[in-house]
Amino acid sequence: MTGEATDSREDRFLLDVMLGKLATYLRMCGYDTAYALDRGIESDDAIRSLAAAEDRTLLTRDEALAASADGAVLLTEREIEAQLRELRAAGVDLSLPDHPQRCSACNGEVVPVAAADSPEHVPDDAEPYRCRDCGQWFWSGSHWDDVAETLAAL
């Protein structure tokens, strides 16, 4: 389950309703990460079906769901840092790529944008990126640094 911090990661994940915060971290690490509540699904059957249909590895805190889904990864911890440690122990590369690649809000692809075309709230010295799906703006600022510190401390 390892990937390289390049322009795309091979692993694709589906996170159950108990792992919303983890979705943000995985997206920032460049993983294509679907979150069940973003898709409007909560039932175990629907989650299993979606994981299979989209060829995603299911991450869940639900023991019964993990046992009933091929290749699912059961996370036992509640706190985000502990969940990240569990994923790293399971072989998931939790390094940040050189620049944002996935929208932390909607999982859309993030693409570079000319600095001249960015809005005023993007710092002048930042290299701006924008989500193709929802239009949210990104750059590697203090939040990026905070996540990098959290991942390095694992």
Q: Which tokens go with 40? A: 């409007």
Q: Which pLDDT score is estimated for 95?
A: 93
pTM of the model: 0.89
Percent of the chain with pLDDT over 90: 76
33-51 pLDDT per residue, tens: 999 999 999 999 999 999 9
Residue 15 in contact with residue 23, Cβ under 8 Å?
yes
Percent of the chain with pLDDT over 70: 94
Reference 151, options 78, 68, 95, 72; nearest CA is 95
Alpha-carbon span 84 to 77, nearest angstrom: 9
Residue type, 37: L
Residue 150 in contact with residue 81, Cβ under 8 Å?
yes
Size (the chain), residues? 154
Confidence of residue 32 (pLDDT cuts 50, 70, 90): very high
Alpha-carbon span 142 to 128, nearest angstrom: 14
Q: Which residues have C-beta within 8 Å of that of residue 40, sequence separation ≥ 6?
A: none
Side by side, the strands of the sheet bearing 129-131 are 110-112, 129-131, 137-138
Reference 24, options 154, 147, 135, 149; nearest CA is 147
